[in-house]
A = this chain, B = another copy of it.
Amino acid sequence: MENLILYLNSIHPLSDGLRNYLTQIIQAKTIKKKDYLLRAGRICDQIYFIEKGLLRCFYLKNLTEVCSWFMMEGDVAISIESFFLQKPSYESIQALEETVLHYVSYKDLQYMYRQFPEFNFIGRVLTEKYYSQSEQRLYAIRMQRADERYGYLMQNLPELIQRVPSSYIASYLGITLETLSRIKSKR
């Protein structure tokens, strides 16, 4: 938990009150490989900070799973629309490795935003950061040919390709496992 508090403090100094409050309400949790952090249909009402591990975010489309993204050490894990709008999630979040998390509830977070105005500064900066990353992904996903999208991932997040099974990478790239296999063999 110290890590997380230090990180938040580096964005904007935390008042003693906020620091104490955070220390009291931040919870910890470890989930095993294949366990779910969120199941489609439920409202994402916790915001998680990943200490260690790897998660995938996916949804069902015509009975098959479509991988929307991966999250790892240092990332915040939520289902964006579900958490921000507090509506049922269309996507699920599942651990691909044993994962260590810290988290707070949506309610506690809103309470902090009201009670400790400086916390909005931190929330804003983090939201801007993840929003920027999401735009980068949108840019990458928009590349027309599959081998270009793979190349972009290879260039920018080679670690993911190592840690994530090919089937999920293919799903994320919007191609079949077979096409991914052919792209790899051509390089």
Among listed A20-28, A38-46, A48-56, A129-137, interface-contacting one: A129-137
The answer, yes or no, to whether A68 is at the interface (CB within 8 Å) is yes
The answer, yes or no, to whether A105 is at the interface (CB within 8 Å) is no
Residues of B close to A81: CB separation below 8 A:
132, 135-136
The answer, yes or no, to whether A66 is at the interface (CB within 8 Å) is yes
Contact B136 A138 (CB under 8 A): no
Q: Report the Cα distance A118→B84, complex, angstroms.
A: 19
As for how many copies of this chain the complex holds, the number is: 2
Q: Report the Cα distance A84→B136, complex, angstroms.
A: 13
Contact A118 B117 (CB under 8 A): yes
- The A contact surface, by secondary structure, is helix
A166-183 vs B, Cβ < 8 Å mask (1 yes, 0 no): 000000001000000000
Contact B174 A128 (CB under 8 A): no
Q: Report the Cα distance A89→B90, complex, angstroms.
A: 32
Q: Report the Cα distance A84→B126, complex, angstroms.
A: 11
Residues of B close to A135: CB separation below 8 A:
80-81, 134
Residues of B close to A129: CB separation below 8 A:
84
B-facing residues in A51-105 (Cβ within 8 Å) = 66, 68, 80-81, 84-85, 90
Residues of B close to A84: CB separation below 8 A:
128-129, 131-132
The answer, yes or no, to whether A36 is at the interface (CB within 8 Å) is no
Contact A85 B121 (CB under 8 A): no
Q: Report the Cα distance A134→B136, complex, angstroms.
A: 11
Interface residues of A (CB under 8 A from B): 66, 68, 80-81, 84-85, 90, 113, 117-118, 120-121, 123-124, 127-132, 134-139, 141-142, 144, 174
